[in-house]
């Protein structure tokens, strides 16, 4: 088992992506350490924070109740973004290695995952600082075992959920609806789930013999994951299961070459793990309006512009940063075939416009909170379709990093370079500059009209802008192809 883990580590550090992007890995490593230190800081001072917010309740009980929400969101987050390392056993299936060892390997490999590390750093400082000081040693031991048994349960249960429900998008919406309903019932105290969870955990902590219950639950989740791998540990089954149906989308063929290009890209999104997981995560981002659209922010045009910018391009901006890299595995076919560069670029522009319009329609009910939201989001829709899309396409011609579509989106920086970071500066920075300019003259509301007008003008003259991008694409396509061939 240790030898298999060593092989995995060597595979990572010897990969071309790791070697070519060493400075990017250093920067991301520093950002990751900074994030973890912030989590430790929040966890260490959690008792102070909870005392200020919930002054009339016990700190340990409040923290335990909040763990109920944490585990609910943790399960959804794992399902959407955590990468299940099942594919890593395939190279060993034809070698003289015990099959039982191979089946345990992905499960054990998932234990030191980044999400589990976050859970450890989020809970352990509070446990050491507060619980270990105020409670008996047996209580502390039982509480610790119970909480991290639940973390392990979520981790191993993710294997089963990924297998049975990852290809059923409606289940994701159903899962989100169930969790939302549970939280709503708990917040309104119709059914206090968090209180029941806290009482149950305290009962186990005070009656140490009951600690066997969460351990059994964790063991069952591990066994389910093991059984799942055992049933699917055949190469021919894996190859067959990867054939998914994304629908014919035949109606797009009537729009000629552009329609066929859009049809191909939509199928690519729906049939591959990384773009599909990005689509799911972007859908969740549309609910961020409930966080920012508060009464105190309704007259803050900067916040409304910022939120409107991301809500109307939740998928387009994140997907558009890798516009050409998504097709890196078959990019040579576009060069070899007689495909118009202008039509190729325009198909991506139209896909960006349609997804942005779709996001705008979904977030339109936020206008119930204030009519300003509808006007600002409409202006930002015009800005994103007219200006943001062109800037992203232009920057993407300088991206030569290959993307493996079969890998998960979470903690996956393959294909990411400084081009993506640089493209965000003009796209997101220009609305801020326009706002500050009108704010200086005490006319912040006119920044909305200006951004919408500029976007509308860019849409009218999009043909000339796309021709500019197509000319740049023609100059760069062979350099892009060379980069995309690097595995």
Q: At residue 95, does pLDDT exceed 50?
A: yes
- Full DSSP string of 190-232: SS-HHHHHHHHHHHHHHSGGGGHHHHHHHHHHHHHHHHHHHHT
From 100-109, 167-176, 255-264, 318-327, the region with the lowest mean pLDDT: 167-176
Q: What percent of the chain has pLDDT over 70?
A: 80
Query: Residue 274 and residue 410: Cα distance in Å, rounded?
Result: 9
- The two tokens of residue 380 are 């930002």
| End-to-end Cα, the chain, rounded Å | 27
Q: Which of 67, 41, 71 is nearest to 205 (CA)?
A: 67
Alpha-helix residue ranges (DSSP H) falling in 368-417: 371-383, 389-396
pLDDT score, position 166 = 58
Look at 17 and 71; give whichever has higher pLDDT.
71
Per mean pLDDT, which of 29-33, 143-147, 476-480 is the most reliable?
143-147
From 329-338, 403-412, 461-470, the region with the lowest mean pLDDT: 403-412
Query: Residue 316 and residue 391: Cα distance in Å, rounded?
Result: 12
pLDDT score, position 242 = 45
Alpha-helix residue ranges (DSSP H) falling in 384-417: 389-396
pLDDT band at 465 (very low <50, low <70, confident <90, very high): very high
Per mean pLDDT, which of 150-159, 233-242, 314-323 is the most reliable?
150-159
pLDDT score, position 240 = 42
pLDDT band at 235 (very low <50, low <70, confident <90, very high): very low
Q: Read off the pTM.
A: 0.58
Look at 318 and 3; give whichever has higher pLDDT.
318
Query: For the residues 220-237, what does the mean pLDDT come to?
Result: 73
pLDDT score, position 411 = 47
pLDDT in tens, 245-304: 445 677 777 778 888 888 888 888 888 777 887 787 777 778 777 778 877 788 888 888
Q: Which of 288, 321, 313, 301 is nearest to 381 (CA)?
A: 313
pLDDT band at 408 (very low <50, low <70, confident <90, very high): low
Residues whose CB falls within 8 Å of the CB of residue 21, separated by 6 or more in sequence, listed in order: 401, 413, 416, 417
pLDDT band at 147 (very low <50, low <70, confident <90, very high): very high
For all residues of the chain together, what is the average pLDDT? Answer: 80
Query: Residue 140 and residue 282: Cα distance in Å, rounded?
Result: 39
pLDDT score, position 256 = 81
Q: At residue 12, does pLDDT exceed 70?
A: no
Query: For the residues 371-391, what does the mean pLDDT come to?
Result: 90
Domain extent listing, the chain: 2-241, 268-484
Q: At residue 331, does pLDDT exceed 80?
A: yes
Kindly list the distances between the CA atom of residue 200 and the CA atoms of 59, 134, 145, in Å, as whole numbers in the listed order.
Answer: 17, 19, 14
Q: At residue 140, does pLDDT exceed 70?
A: yes
pLDDT score, position 366 = 84
pLDDT score, position 237 = 45
pLDDT band at 6 (very low <50, low <70, confident <90, very high): low
Q: At residue 472, does pLDDT exceed 60?
A: yes
Residue 131 gets which letter from DSSP? I
Look at 81 and 470; give whichever has higher pLDDT.
470
Residue 80's SS3 state is helix
pLDDT score, position 141 = 92
């Amino acid at each position: 088992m240790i030898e298999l883990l060593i092989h995995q580590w060597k595979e990572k550090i010897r990969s071309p992506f790791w070697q070519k992007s060493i400075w990017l890995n250093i920067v991301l490593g520093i950002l990751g350490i900074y994030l973890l230190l912030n989590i430790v800081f929040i966890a260490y001072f959690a008792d102070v924070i909870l005392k200020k917010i919930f002054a009339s309740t016990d700190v340990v009980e409040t923290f335990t109740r909040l763990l109920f929400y944490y585990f609910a969101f943790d399960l959804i987050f794992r399902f959407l973004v955590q990468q299940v390392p099942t594919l890593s056993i395939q190279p060993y299936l034809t070698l003289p290695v015990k099959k039982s060892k191979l089946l345990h390997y992905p499960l054990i490999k998932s234990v030191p995952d980044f999400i589990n590390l976050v859970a450890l750093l989020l809970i352990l400082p509070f446990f050491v600082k507060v619980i270990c000081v105020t409670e008996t040693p047996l209580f502390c031991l039982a509480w610790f075992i119970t909480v991290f048994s639940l973390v392990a349960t979520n981790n191993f249960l993710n294997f089963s959920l990924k297998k049975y429900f990852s290809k059923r998008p409606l289940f994701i919406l159903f899962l989100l609806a169930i969790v939302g309903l549970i939280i709503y019932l708990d917040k309104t105290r119709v059914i206090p789930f968090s209180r029941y969870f806290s009482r149950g955990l305290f009962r186990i902590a005070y009656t140490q013999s009951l600690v066997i219950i969460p351990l059994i639950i964790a063991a069952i989740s591990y066994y389910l994951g093991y059984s799942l791998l055992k049933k699917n540990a055949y190469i021919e089954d894996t190859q067959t299961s990867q054939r998914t149906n994304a629908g014919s989308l035949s109606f797009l063929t009537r729009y000629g070459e552009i329609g066929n290009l859009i049809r191909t890209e939509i199928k690519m999104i729906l049939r591959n793990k990384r773009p599909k997981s990005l689509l799911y995560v972007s859908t969740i981002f549309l609910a961020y309006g409930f966080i920012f659209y508060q009464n105190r922010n309704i007259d803050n045009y900067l916040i409304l512009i910022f939120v409107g910018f991301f809500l109307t391009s939740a998928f387009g901006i994140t997907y558009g940063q890798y516009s050409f890299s998504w097709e890196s595995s078959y990019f040579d076919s576009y060069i070899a075939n007689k495909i118009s560069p202008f039509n190729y670029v325009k198909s991506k522009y139209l896909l960006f416009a349609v997804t942005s319009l779709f996001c705008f329609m979904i977030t339109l009910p936020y206008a119930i909170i204030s009519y300003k939201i509808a006007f600002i989001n409409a202006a930002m829709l015009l800005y994103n379709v007219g200006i943001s899309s062109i800037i992203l396409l232009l920057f993407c011609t300088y991206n030569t990093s290959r993307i493996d579509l079969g890998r998960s989106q979470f903690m996956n920086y393959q294909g990411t370079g400084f081009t993506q970071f640089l493209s965000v500066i003009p796209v997101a920075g220009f609305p801020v500059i326009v706002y500050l300019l009108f704010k200086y003259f005490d006319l912040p509301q006119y920044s909305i009209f200006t951004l919408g007008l500029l976007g509308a003008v860019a849409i009218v003259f999009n043909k000339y802008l796309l021709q500019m991008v197509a000319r740049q694409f023609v100059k760069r396509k062979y350099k892009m192809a060379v980069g995309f061939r690097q595995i």
